[in-house]
Chain A
Amino acid sequence: MNFYVPDPLPPGANVFIVDRFGSSPSQDAWVKAQKRPLITMDDYERLRDSMKNGKAVAALDDHNIEIRSGTKRLENTDVMGVSPNYAEVRNINVEQAALSIKPTTIIVGKWCLLAPTWPTGYFANVDPIGKVVRAETHEYQVIGVAERIGSAFGQSQDNFMIIPLHTFEKELHRRATGSVFSCRRVARR
């Protein structure tokens, strides 16, 4: 192959994740990994500003909580606080979205992007855009619905809600969780 291929690998294959725990092969390794220092926002900002080979560095902080809308509830939803470029790095496409979104809203607003399981299960006959969902005591306005991802190892990947990272850090962050970064390698020319 003696020609330029801008993005030769399938989506996701050119992404790696910096995490506190990783995949622990044994119980002992998991217990030892609990003693590792947290991955913080400072680590993310340093990596984002310093990496030369990475095309983009995105941050994610998440935990599973119950989400409610009206009287309906969805347990064990993965609420993810993400940096603005996370969807691009992890190839999350938006199926439906509100038209009027200001750039400042993307960074710190009280909005959310829902996984496709929500509109089919809870907003079956109504447009989810503009509706309000609650996570713990906080409310977020739905500005979009993500495309279906499917399942991996028999587990559905479509049970998530995305909110801005700074909003998550302020309202839902728990110290034990820390952040995860995804780096996408640069396409060399």
Chain B
Amino acid sequence: MMAACEDEARMLMRAWRHLPYDAKDNFAILGSDSIMKL
């Protein structure tokens, strides 16, 4: 459920910023698991 919510926010932000499908995000999404990815 959390991943779906994050994906929705990412999709909306990418759409508003007109990012091509293969471009990296020009924003960051930090969840509770972000510390573990460092």
Contacts and interface: CB of A to CB of B under 8 A. Distances in A.
Contacts, number: 75
A19 interface: yes
| Interface SS, B side | helix
Instruction: Name the prevailing secondary structure of the A interface residues.
Output: loop
A50 B38 contact: no
Interface residues of A, number: 29
Interface in A1-38: 12-23, 25, 33, 36-37
Contacts of A72: none
Given A37-B17, A43-B13, A183-B9, A53 B1 contact: yes
Interface of B: 1-2, 4-6, 8-9, 12-13, 16-17, 26-32, 34-35, 37-38
